[in-house]
Every structure is written in C-alpha cells, then in structure tokens.
A = this chain, B = another copy of it.
Amino acid sequence: MRVTILGTSSGGPFHGRHFTAQVLEAGKHVFLLDCGEGTQMQIFKYRIKVDACRQIFISHLHGDHVFGLMGLITNWSLKKRTEPLALYAPPGLRELVETTLRICGVRMSYPLEFHEVNADQHQIVFENETVEVWSVPLLHRCAASGWIFREKPKARNMRPEKIESLNIPFSAIPAIKAGADYQMPNGQIVPNSELTLDPLPPRSYAFCSDTAYSETVAECVRGVDLLYHEATFTDQHIEQAAYSFHSTARHAATIAAKAGVGRLLLGHISGRYDDTAQHLAEAKTIFEAVEMAEEGKTWAV
C-alpha cells in the first residue's frame, strides 16, 4: 500500500496548502480519502491515476473535506465513466449529492452507491480480496469517522526449486500457497514449511481527520504501520484545539505512542501557521518516527 497526500490545510487555502484529500493505492485498487475543494485539480496537477477508483471514503461532511466531491464525480461523468462508484460517509452525503445533481441538472454516466457509515462504531465497512476498511469513531463537532485500511494476509510464497525437485503439478500449488502440506505420488507427506516462505506481513494505514484527542482512536489504531493524524494546532493554541474539537501535534504524537504505531504523519494545519517546524518539534518530544504530510508526496505504508 502507498498513500499520496493531496491537501494539508484545515479551513482555508493558506500558504499554498490545499484542502484534505488523499489517494490510497492497495494492489490494483485505488481509494480516495476525503475530497476537499480543488481535489480534482490536485489529482490533475500531480498526474495521479484515479481511473481505478471505485470507492471514496468521506470522514465527515464539513466543507473542507467534501466540497470537492461534486466537481470530481461530475467530471468523471463528463468523461463518460461507466464503472460504479461507492461513497462511504456518515449520514447526509446521499441527500447532499442527490440534491446537487438534481438542481445542477446532471445526468450521471455511471451509478453511485451510497453507504451510510455509523460514526460511533469501529467495524468493517468495506472489503475486497486485498483489504478490509474499518471505521474509527472520531471526536469532532459532527459525526466523523476515520478509516483503517488493513491488508488481508497474503498467500505464502512457493519455493520455486521445490516445484522442480519434487515435480509438484501446478494444480497443487494454490493449496500449498494457502498453507497445505503436499502428498507425493508415493504417499510421502512434505510439510508446508519445507515448501514455502513466509509472505510479507500485511500492512495497515489509518486516516484520522478531524478529531480532538481521543483514547478511543488510540485503541482502534493500535499497531498500524502508518498513522495519519490531524495536528491542526501547536501547544500555543491548545484552547482553540479543545474548543474546535481538533488536535495539537502533541495530541497526535501521544495517540501514536499509546497505540504503538510504526510511523506518524501529521496534517490538517491551521492557516495561522506559515510553517510547521513547531508542530514537528512538539510531536518529536513524544514520538520520534513522525513526519509532516507534504502535498504531492507519496508514502509507502
């Protein structure tokens, strides 16, 4: 899996920052996380391939996370897209999208599916053969859900030299990759451990924006390889963080430390900061493996 950051701003288009949106690639699948105003321009600017996108996950219905959705999905219709698109979000998105399509007179070239997510629950909301997507209850001023993308366990890797030396037929290989032993024509059993190597461990990515400091978030994202957590403020504005149900960089780092995640990525920066050195410094006092999200940059999970 890898994630590309399209926007690092909260609230306004300040200091060259754009509104929240991320592209997550998992195998051949492409997912879009949030869709602030200008997302389609950022996708175009960074030449990101999103034709394969079949699912968009919207964390909550505040404008800086959703006002780019209508432009993106109607432009896909202008381009005669035919593949269905599923939209996952807390309640309200269906009415917002359908009202806008009706008033703006859009006849979509492809079907939309709406999946209303219960933002109070930590549960699987989507899965395919590659990943499971879990909702994460966030602590915000409205119903808001983070998401965890968990790769499913991969098949074991065959040792190619064993196929040859034991003359294993191709028809037997799927079962062996799934963990089975192999019975030779003479009846001898070869244990799976001699035939295969461990696959790469499944990776996991958590996306948590927007939220105040929440122990529930820490519990849900325990042990993920990469955690994106909003860090709208620095310590200096901790009262504004509390008032607006956002986090400081120190809050985000504390969640990362408690949850024992691999690495931490910070974003959703308030327009009052023209640089983010202070965010990074404050987070590093709690959790060392932290970076600031950068627009157009891709992180391997």
CB of A209, distance to nearest CB on chain B (Å): 16
Q: Which of B38, B78, B100, B104 contacts A38 (CB 8 A)?
A: B38
> How many residues of chain A are within 8 Å of chain B by beta carbon?
34
Q: Tell me if B44 and A41 are in contact (CB < 8 A).
A: no
Inside 8 A of A44's CB, which chain B residues have their CB? 12-14
- Verify if A189 is at the interface (C-beta below 8 Å from B): no
Inside 8 A of A18's CB, which chain B residues have their CB? 41
- Verify if A82 is at the interface (C-beta below 8 Å from B): no
CB of A40, distance to nearest CB on chain B (Å): 6
> With A and B bound together, what is the CA distance between A103 and B143 in angstroms?
11
With A38-B37, A40-B13, A70-B63 known as contacts, the answer to whether A104 contacts B96 (CB < 8 A) is yes
- Verify if A99 is at the interface (C-beta below 8 Å from B): yes
- Verify if A262 is at the interface (C-beta below 8 Å from B): no
Inside 8 A of A103's CB, which chain B residues have their CB? 61, 92-93, 95-96
Q: Tell me if A67 and B61 are in contact (CB < 8 A).
A: no
> With A and B bound together, what is the CA distance between A131 and B69 in angstroms?
37
How many subunits of this chain does the assembly comprise?
A: 2
> Which residue of chain B has the shortest Cβ distance to A18 in the bound complex?
B41
Q: Tell me if B105 and A100 are in contact (CB < 8 A).
A: no
- Verify if A66 is at the interface (C-beta below 8 Å from B): yes
Inside 8 A of A37's CB, which chain B residues have their CB? 37-38, 40-41, 67-68, 71
- Verify if A62 is at the interface (C-beta below 8 Å from B): yes
The 7 closest A-B pairs by CB, nearest first: A37-B71, A13-B41, A92-B103, A67-B71, A96-B103, A99-B99, A61-B104
Known A12-B40, A63-B106, A95-B99; 8 more pairs at CB < 8 Å: A14-B44, A61-B104, A61-B105, A63-B71, A67-B71, A93-B103, A95-B103, A105-B142
